[in-house]
Structure 1
Amino acid sequence: MLLLAGMWGLSIPITKFGLGTIPPMTFTALRFMVAVPLFMFLARRELRVSQKAIPGIIGLGVMGITLGNVAQSFGVQESSASVATILSATIPIFMVILAAIRLKQPVTPLQWGGLIAAFLGIALVAIGSDAGAGDMSKTTPSGILWMLVSAVGIAKYYIWSKELSDRYGLMPVAAWNMLVGLVTVLPLAGWELVDHPVQITFEALAAITYLGVMVTVAGLILWLYLLKIVPARIAASVQYLQPIIGISVSAMLFGDRLGLMFGAGVGLVLIGLGFAATGRRSMA
């Protein structure tokens, strides 16, 4: 669990490094150009799916990768790594809201309290971010909006992927929707390259490799292994460790200034995450 929290917690700061010389849509495409062949190889014996699964898999790839991951790249580019990390931690909170809408799961008063606390925390994080910081630590309103769009898209992806995986199997659904996402991102990356130069530095290449192999492929496999050996509610505690690791690393690497208001916002988001995750066992 600590290994997974570290792997996933480092994803936003490492993405920040990669985006220093590669624009967002191209960066996302390169990440999945690494992840997709590896995941397809690992899932090679389970790639057959029913024709009924194809529309859902296509929609899943567009939702999770084309929308969720591209929006995240734009958000990280326009936010400090600390702000982006805490906003990405709201994914489970949006999962509660979407599960209530999509799966008709009831939201308890404690969960409602958590949702309210989390959104107040987001407001404090946004207000408390240092607009006068350097380029690598600067947060813009559009950056916050992109991160929230990403959080909603990825939360929807998780809810939808659970439905499809229960019917058709996790490995084939994951492998094919990643491929769909890559195919849909590639034309966007090509269009982006017309006006945006790309410089493949050692840092950018390392970031792409880490995100493709460790976060996207190894992280998913480790997460599935955790769900087999420990109760889902225990495995889910990784969600609390990720932002702590990500914010700590971001402060060291980029000099993000974490004021009292930012700290209060982080606390509210984490409290909200704890309350909102209460009683989510049925989703696992």
Structure 2
Amino acid sequence: MSQTASLPRPNPSVGSYAAMLLLALMWGLSIPVTKLGLITLPPLTLTALRYAVAVPLMFVFVVGRPRLPWRAVPRLAALGILGIGIGQVAQTFGVVATAASVGTIVSATIPIFVVVFAALRLRQRVSGLQALGLLAAFAGIALVASGRGEATSVTSQTTLAGVILMLLSSVAVAFYYVWSVELCERHGTVAVVAWSTLFGFVALVPWAGWEMWHVPFTVTAVGLGAGIYLGVVVTVAGLFLWLTILRTVPARIAAGIQYLQPVVGVAAAAAMFGDALGPLFILGVALVLGGLALTVANRRGA
């Protein structure tokens, strides 16, 4: 090992911690803002608006980079359809049928599924602590789905179908992350993210067009604002801020964002929609976050 490689990495600066807190806020608000947008816009329309805003901004960063080889197109197209056509669409429909607080907690399982898929892909054994973390997280989801207390409004209602859709979204997005690692090593992170997002958006457009033609909706400032927030702040700015953090902060510290996001989301859901957080819900949140801690923290030793 070289002398440079053996030197300890510097401690994160105040600016780095501020960036991590900002990202937790940006991403933590994702589900509540989606819920807000769905009040006036149907699911596919809101999702299409999000990526109609995000795609042009992403390609600003692609300008001047090497051209994507044709042989990479089929995989990136499939990646985009998986991440957006399944992952994000399932999430948006799931948010329709769950309270924002519940959707936030279920979506917090994405890092857990990332660990599972990475272990399967690399033929790594899932340790006892990781298995315990998985069981705790799923037990927590069951409590979260049933333990919120009385729904105070239509936006606070949760159905089993909604929870299942949110879980499907978490699985699809986690597999998207694991699969994209290999492609990013070959073609670069910016190119993979931009092109896969474009392909996913193109696949979504016909379905969103059908929905806009058949489902009545009203274009409001709130709906447009939600789509713009999701496209600019969550999808584009959040991604590049996360990549910047990973270059300047040790991964074990950066992973702390995964624990802050659901806290932000649940607090925002309670403030925005009056979600009632009963004792079983609180216990479920603790189990999900504890399961996340066990599963992710043990990755280094797996």
Tell me the TM-score range normalised by the shorter chain. over 0.9
Looking at structure 2, the residues matched to 132 and 207 of structure 1 have their Cα atoms a distance apart, in angstroms, of 23
SS in 1 for 2:64: helix
Q: Which residue of 2 aligns with 1:249?
A: 268
> Where does the alignment leave 5 or more consecutive residues of structure 1 unmatched?
none
Name the amino acid aligned to 1:30: L
SS in 2 for 1:193: helix
TM-score (norm 1): 0.96
The 8 Å contact of residues 148 and 281 in structure 2, kept in 1 or not, is answered as yes
Pairwise mapping of residues 170-189 of structure 1 onto structure 2 (< 5 A)? 170-189=189-208
Is 2:83 the partner of 1:64?
Answer: yes
Looking at structure 2, the residues matched to 193 and 103 of structure 1 have their Cα atoms a distance apart, in angstroms, of 43
Shift of 1:26: 1.0
Deviation larger for 216-225 or 89-98: 89-98
- Find the partner of 2:98 among 79, 93, 96: 79
Looking at structure 2, the residues matched to 237 and 132 of structure 1 have their Cα atoms a distance apart, in angstroms, of 31
Name the amino acid aligned to 1:109: G
The 8 Å contact of residues 47 and 171 in structure 1, kept in 2 or not, is answered as no
Q: Which residue of 2 aligns with 1:270?
A: 289
SS in 2 for 1:59: helix
Looking at structure 2, the residues matched to 162 and 22 of structure 1 have their Cα atoms a distance apart, in angstroms, of 33
- Find the partner of 1:105 among 115, 124, 141: 124
Q: Which residue of 1 aligns with 2:50?
A: 31
Looking at structure 1, the residues matched to 216 and 116 of structure 2 have their Cα atoms a distance apart, in angstroms, of 39
TM-score (norm 2): 0.91
Pairwise mapping of residues 73-222 of structure 1 onto structure 2 (< 5 A)? 73-130=92-149, 132-222=151-241
Looking at structure 1, the residues matched to 258 and 113 of structure 2 have their Cα atoms a distance apart, in angstroms, of 13
CA distances 1:157-211 after superposition (whole Å, capped 9, x unpaired)? 1101111101111111111001001100001111212321121111111111111
- Find the partner of 1:259 among 278, 281, 287: 278
Name the amino acid aligned to 1:216: T
User: Structure 1 residues 68, 282: CA separation in 2 closer, same or farther (over 3 Å shift)?
Assistant: farther
Looking at structure 2, the residues matched to 108 and 225 of structure 1 have their Cα atoms a distance apart, in angstroms, of 31
The 8 Å contact of residues 233 and 281 in structure 1, kept in 2 or not, is answered as no
**Could you tell me the percent identity over the aligned residues?**
53
Shift of 1:50: 2.1
Q: Please, what is the CA RMSD of the aligned residues?
A: 1.4
Runs of 4+ in 1 over 6 A off after TM superposition: none
Compare CA radii of gyration and give the structure with the larger one.
2
Q: Which residue of 1 aligns with 2:6?
A: none
Looking at structure 2, the residues matched to 197 and 51 of structure 1 have their Cα atoms a distance apart, in angstroms, of 40
User: Structure 1 residues 181, 263: CA separation in 2 closer, same or farther (over 3 Å shift)?
Assistant: same
User: Structure 1 residues 132, 227: CA separation in 2 closer, same or farther (over 3 Å shift)?
Assistant: closer
Name the amino acid aligned to 2:261: Q
The 8 Å contact of residues 150 and 276 in structure 2, kept in 1 or not, is answered as no
Q: Which residue of 1 aligns with 2:16?
A: none
